[in-house]
Chain A
Amino acid sequence: MITKDFTYHAPTGLDGVVSVLAEAAGDAVVLGGGTMLIPDMTHGRTRADVVVDLSRAGLSGIAPGDGEVVVGATTTYADVLADDRAPALVPLLRVMAGGVTGGPQIRNKGTVGGSASYANPSSEVPACLVALGARMRLASASGTREVEALDFFTGAFATARRPDEVLAALVLPALTGTSVGYTKLKHAESSWPIATAACVPGPDGALRVALGAVAATPLLVTVDRPDAGVADPAWRAHVREVVDAAVTEPWSDVLADGEYRRRVAPVAAARSIARALETGGEEETP
C-alpha cells in the first residue's frame, strides 16, 4: 500500500504532459507502464507529489521514416511482439521483447521508454538502444532535443533526462538487411538478467556489441570479425581482451557480484556475435 497520496494527471497529449512537468518543478514522476515505478512507490523507494501518467498521451507506436524508425516511448513489449512489421523494422527490440522477464502481464504493460528512463543496470532496453546507436527524443515545455543513447545513460538509475522533460520517443536507425544478435544470461525464469549482449554489425562490417547488466551503464565495444569462425580460440581470446578492458567497474547486486559478471560478459558478447553472423539473430528460448 502506498501511504502518501499524490496528485494524478493523465494528459491526453504530449503538450499536456510537458506543461504538468513544467508546473511541478521537479516534484513529479512520470508513469509509463508502471511495472517498476509502482512497486517502487509501494515499497517507499520512490515518493512523489505529482504523478504524470502517459497512458492517454498518444505516445505509442512504431513509425518507419527516412532511414530511421521512430518508436513511441509508451510502446509496450507486447506492442512490439504483436506488430508484423517488427522483425523487419525493429529486429533487436523484437528479439529482446520476447524474453522480457515477468510474463505476459509485464510484457503487456512494460514500455520501452519506461525501461530506458528507469535505467536499471539490469534492464534489457538500455544496452539494446546503445547497440543500435539510438537517439532519445526528450520533450519539455521549452522544446525538444535528442540525446545519443550512449550519453543518455549516465549511471545506475540515472539518465540525462531533466526533471521537466519526458522521454517521448526513441529514434532508431533503419537496419535494412542487417542481421542482429542478442543473448541474455540469467539463471532462473524470474531473474533479472545477469549479463546481456546485443550485436549490431555496422555498415562497414565492424561488430558493435553493447553489454548490459555488467556495469552501471551499457558498455559499447567493437571487436574484430571472427575470420576463422566463432569457435576459434584466438578470436575468443580477442573478445575476452576487448570486453575485459571495457568492464572497469562491474555491477554487483544480490543476483551476482561484479567479478562473476566480468567473467561471463565476454561469453555473452561472443554468443551475440555468433547469432548475428550465423543464425540471423534469433534468441534461443531462455
Chain B
Amino acid sequence: MNRVRLKVNGQEHEIEVESCTLLVHAIREDVGLTGTHVGCLTGDCGACTVLVDGASVKSCSVFAVSADGAEITTIEGLAGDEGLHPVQQAFWDEFAFQCGYCLPGMLLTTCELLDRDQDPDDAAIDQAINGNLCRCTGYASIRSAVRRAATRMAAGDPDALPESQRSESPSAEPPPSA
C-alpha cells in the first residue's frame, strides 16, 4: 500500500491506496466525493475529469499514487457556500445539461478555458470541450452556456455573481446537487 497526500477542494486528505488504484476511484471511494463520475474508463468520455494542479485531466487515466502532493479540484469544489459558480449558473440558465453525467468534464474544462481566455470564440470553445461526451443535450446549448459564462464573467454581470450576492435570482428553484 502507498500513503498518498491529496489536497482536494482545499482540504487535505491522506489516504492509503494500492499502486494500481485509479485517481477516479481514490476520489470517489477514499476521499468520498462522488461527483466525479466513472464513465468509459478508456479516456474517451470525460465524465471523470478533475483539475490536477490547475490542469484538466481524465482521472481514470491517472494512478492515485502519481498524484501524491497534488492539489485537486473536483466538481464539488466549484460552488461555494454562497451559491453556484458562474459557470454552473450559466449551464443552469441555458438548460445545458439533463442527466448531469458529463458535467464534471464540461464544467471543469470550461473553467480551465475561461481562466486563460476571457473571450473565447466558438472554435476555442469547441477545442476546450471536445474531450467530453454529452449524450443528452447535444452541444449547442453547452456552447451557449460557455459563451454566457464568459460574457457575464468578463462584464462583471451581476448574474455571474453567486446567488446570495444577487438582488434577484433568475432561477426559481435551487438546482440539485451534482
Contact = CB atoms under 8 A, between A and B. Distances in A.
Given A103-B46, A104-B112, A105-B131, A5 B19 contact: yes
A43 B22 CA distance: 13
Contact of A104 (B18, B123, B131): B131
A178 interface: no
Interface stretch (B51-59, B78-86, B156-164): B51-59
A2 interface: yes
B63 A38 contact: yes
Contacts of B18: 5
Interface residues of B, number: 36
Interface stretch (A6-14, A121-129, A246-254): A6-14
A229 interface: no
A53 interface: yes
Interface string B87-108: 0000000000000000001000
A109 B58 contact: yes
Interface residues of A, number: 34
A114 to B, nearest CB: 11
Interface stretch (B5-13, B37-45, B141-149): B37-45
Contact of B43 (A6, A35, A51, A98): A35
Contact of A103 (B21, B66, B131): B131
Given A38-B22, A103-B109, A106-B131, A190 B44 contact: yes
Nearest to A7: B19
A142 interface: no
A16 to B, nearest CB: 15
Contacts of B165: none
B120 to A, nearest CB: 12
A42 B44 CA distance: 14
Given A55-B66, A106-B131, A2 B20 contact: yes
Given A2-B20, A51-B19, A190-B44, A102 B131 contact: yes
Contacts of A36: 43
A259 interface: no
Describe B's contact surface by its main secondary structure: mixed
A189 interface: yes
B72 interface: no
Contacts of A42: 22, 41-42, 60
B42 to A, nearest CB: 5
B173 to A, nearest CB: 32
Nearest to A82: B116
Contacts of B31: none
A31 B127 CA distance: 26
B129 interface: yes
A106 to B, nearest CB: 6
Given A108-B56, A109-B58, A103 B20 contact: no
Contacts of B129: 103
B105 A43 contact: no
A249 B92 CA distance: 51
A108 B55 contact: yes
A78 interface: yes
Interface of B: 2, 18-22, 25, 41-44, 46, 49, 55-58, 60-63, 65-66, 105, 109, 112-113, 123, 126-133
Given A8-B2, A51-B19, A109-B57, 16 more contacts: A2-B22, A5-B19, A33-B61, A38-B61, A42-B41, A51-B63, A55-B66, A102-B43, A103-B56, A103-B128, A103-B132, A104-B55, A105-B57, A106-B43, A109-B58, A190-B44
